[in-house]
Amino acid sequence: MLNFLKRRKESGNWRGVYSRFGDVPRSGPAFGGEVWRDVLTAQLRDVDGGQWSEVVVVEHEVLLLLARLLSGEALHVVDFGGGFGASHAYLRKAMPDVRLRYDIVEVPEVVAAAPSRDGVSFADRLEPRHHDAAIVFVKSVLQYAEDYRAAIRSLMSLNARFVLLEKFSGVDCASYASAQVTVTGSSIPYWFISFGEVLDIAREAGYAPLLRRRLPRTYDQSAFPAELRMNQASTLLFAR
């Protein structure tokens, strides 16, 4: 069996259960600091050099399939929380012939430090030029938005043909918050978000669910009540 199909456990990622985001202990620079910039730099360097893991492949396979589906036209992707552009680099490696316009929306500190790349633009907020994209791609970022409901509504208001939530921290219970402690020197408020809430918001915005799957990696939340455990992150795909 391939390594990425083995359910690898990761322990100690989160601390505590909170009903309010503002009650979660917060410390350190989180995603605005040098530690995180080093992580983004390493991700981009590895993809540029053709060095990526099976996990990276799995987390981009739906995006790649959509890009293949739409490859007969100029492809506009809005990557919300796209770091320094590792996902763009992966698409370029996998589909060098596709005409690709790629917009990344990130926190100001990441935008300021991002390297210049052909075909990629950066912004620290959603802008009119992001409307009517073919794909809105959101990988492992909604959990950090204090008002994640507003964030999802804003992303769906861009009127994209597809909205892809990848590595989504979804749960089958009510949404709750915890403290992520995996970024060295930081405690970061983190939402586990109810699938039901997201589906309701999507329907209100005129989107239908096309895909819901669990990603292979298993997380150790044994310190949490069983009914609150995410176990695995998910892929959610919606179409307008």
For residue 11, what pLDDT is reported?
47
In a domain, 167, yes or no: yes
Token code pair at residue 52: 């990526």
% pLDDT > 90, the chain:
85
For residue 83, what pLDDT is reported?
96
In a domain, 22, yes or no: no
CA gap 93, 117 in Å, rounded? 14
Could you list the residue range(s) of the whole structural domain that residue 55 is in? Answer: 6-13+32-171+195-239
In a domain, 68, yes or no: yes
In a domain, 69, yes or no: yes
User: The domain spanning residue 52 has which CATH number?
Assistant: 3.40.50.150
Residues 6+ apart with CB under 8 A from 117: 85, 88, 89
For residue 5, what pLDDT is reported?
31
In a domain, 58, yes or no: yes
**For residue 153, what is the enclosing H or E element?**
helix 148-156
pLDDT tens by residue, 1-52: 222 233 334 447 999 999 999 999 999 888 878 888 999 999 999 999 998 8
CB 216 within 8 A of CB 232: yes
In a domain, 112, yes or no: yes
For residue 36, what pLDDT is reported?
87
CB 14 within 8 A of CB 190: yes
Question: In the block, which residue shows the tokens 């919606």?
Answer: 238
Query: End-to-end CA distance of the chain, in Å?
Result: 36
CB 133 within 8 A of CB 76: yes
Question: In the block, which residue shows the tokens 């009903």?
Answer: 19
β-bridge pairing 208-214 and 234-239 = antiparallel
For residue 3, what pLDDT is reported?
29
For residue 72, what pLDDT is reported?
76
Q: How far is CA 137 from CA 82, 90, 92, 105, 204, in A?
A: 8, 13, 15, 10, 19
Please provide residue 202's backbone torsions phi and psi, each rounded to the nearest 5 degrees: -60, -45
In a domain, 59, yes or no: yes
In a domain, 54, yes or no: yes
* Number of domains composing the chain: 1
In this prediction, the residues of the chain whose per-residue pLDDT falls under 50 are: 1-11
